[in-house]
């Protein structure tokens, strides 16, 4: 297969950001994923995906045309916080670009850490704030959240989320979200629980009140049960109880017990001295 010249777009599995570029291969399918500068840490931290947009003749003229098309792609997106391109325009000659690219390849990314990542790229993510967060990441997040919609949501986050979660699977779920969820929760503890989820749970419930309860949990419960009916009962609790009691379950080992709501089935199992765990009931209606 002959090497190619093409324009491309790099997106990421975990975030809605993107990057436009043009590339001239030295050999076919060289695995090129862009040459970012300011945001290079994202190529290391997240999972980049290359989409080839348009092919051009493998000539100097073809390369010039590819660069022109690249500029036309970047210009409308240049001030978009999700676009990772920081400049546009053919300000450098083709020869200067070739020399610069070769120098970068030979000097900048030669040093690797024990995971095979570019040390130079990782330095962009090195500076941390008092909470241990990347300063660069926090600044980028603040820019994204600056403009709000009528619901107080970040305009760019909403647009990015809409684009990122546009593609659905057969269950109507976002394909990107499913991939991200599998990657985030891949590592498990000895009980099969996601280590990532456990860390987040500990973090969000870290702050306690004078009774030792999670402050966030108490606030959530107050919001959930704020609306009351004429008897002073939580409307959400009443609705939930109504749904639960209308369900029918049975004991798969003892179908002769009949169909009951979960509470009554457990009471019956206990009264008869039968096992009454989750594995001892199945939903039938």
Residue 143 has a pLDDT of 72
Q: How far apart are CA 84 and CA 78, in angstroms?
A: 8
Residue 12 has a pLDDT of 92
- 74-78-83 Cα angle (round to 5): 85
Tokens of 38: 């300011």
Residue 6 has a pLDDT of 96
pLDDT along the chain (285 residues), means of 10: 93 92 91 80 88 94 93 84 76 48 65 69 73 77 75 77 82 84 85 85 87 88 88 86 82 91 88 90 85
Residue 10 has a pLDDT of 94
Classify burial at 175, counting beta carbons within 10 Å of its beta carbon; exposed 0-12, middle 13-18, buried 19 or more. middle
Residue 155 has a pLDDT of 78
Judge whether 209 lies within some domain: no
Residue 121 has a pLDDT of 65
Contact criterion met (CB below 8 Å) for 84 and 48:
no
Q: What is the CA radius of gyration of the chain?
A: 28
* Boundary-marking domain end, from 117, 146, 173: 117
Contact criterion met (CB below 8 Å) for 78 and 20:
no
* Boundary-marking domain end, from 117, 144, 169: 117
Residue 218 has a pLDDT of 87
Q: How far apart are CA 216 and CA 204, in angstroms?
A: 7
> How many folded domains does the chain comprise?
2
Host domain of residue 251: 247-283
Judge whether 216 lies within some domain: no
Q: How far apart are CA 184 and CA 86, in angstroms?
A: 29
Q: How far apart are CA 111 and CA 99, in angstroms?
A: 20
Residue 150's CB is within 10 A of a number of other CB atoms, namely: 5
- 61-62-65 Cα angle (round to 5): 85
* Boundary-marking domain end, from 57, 86, 117: 117
Judge whether 195 lies within some domain: no
Contact criterion met (CB below 8 Å) for 82 and 17:
yes
Residue 275 has a pLDDT of 92
Judge whether 71 lies within some domain: yes
Contact criterion met (CB below 8 Å) for 49 and 13:
yes
Judge whether 33 lies within some domain: yes
Instruction: Please provide residue 88's backbone torsions phi and psi, each rounded to the nearest 5 degrees.
Output: -150, 150
Tokens of 256: 């002769």
Residue 250 has a pLDDT of 92
Picking from 38, 47, 46, the residue whose alpha carbon sits closest to that of residue 123 is 38
Judge whether 179 lies within some domain: no
Residue 134 has a pLDDT of 80
Judge whether 65 lies within some domain: yes
């Amino acid at each position: 297969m002959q090497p190619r010249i093409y324009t491309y777009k790099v997106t990421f599995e975990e975030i809605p950001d993107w990057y436009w570029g043009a590339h001239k291969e030295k050999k076919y399918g060289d695995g090129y994923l862009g040459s970012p500068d300011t945001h290079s840490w994202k190529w290391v931290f997240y999972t980049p995906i290359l989409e080839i947009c348009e092919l051009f003749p493998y000539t100097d003229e073809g390369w010039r045309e590819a660069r022109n098309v690249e500029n036309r792609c970047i210009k409308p997106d240049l001030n978009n916080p999700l676009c990772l391109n920081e400049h546009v325009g053919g300000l450098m000659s083709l020869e200067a670009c070739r020399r610069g690219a070769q120098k970068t390849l030979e000097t900048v990314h030669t040093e690797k850490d024990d995971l095979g990542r570019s040390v130079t790229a990782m330095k962009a993510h090195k500076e941390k704030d008092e909470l241990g967060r990347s300063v660069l990441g926090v600044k980028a997040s603040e820019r994204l959240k600056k403009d709000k919609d009528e619901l107080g949501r970040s305009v760019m986050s909403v647009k990015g989320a809409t684009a990122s979660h546009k593609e659905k699977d057969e269950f109507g779920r976002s394909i990107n979200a499913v991939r991200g969820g599998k990657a985030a929760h891949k590592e498990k503890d000895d009980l099969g629980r996601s280590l990532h989820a456990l860390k987040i749970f500990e973090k969000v419930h870290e702050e306690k009140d004078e009774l030792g309860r999670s402050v966030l949990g108490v606030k959530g419960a107050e919001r959930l049960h704020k609306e009351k009916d004429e008897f002073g009962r939580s409307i959400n609790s009443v609705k939930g109880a109504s749904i639960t009691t209308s369900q029918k379950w049975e004991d798969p080992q003892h179908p002769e017990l009949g169909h009951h709501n979960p509470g009554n089935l457990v009471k019956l199992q206990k009264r008869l001295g039968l096992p009454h765990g989750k594995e001892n009931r199945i939903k039938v209606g």
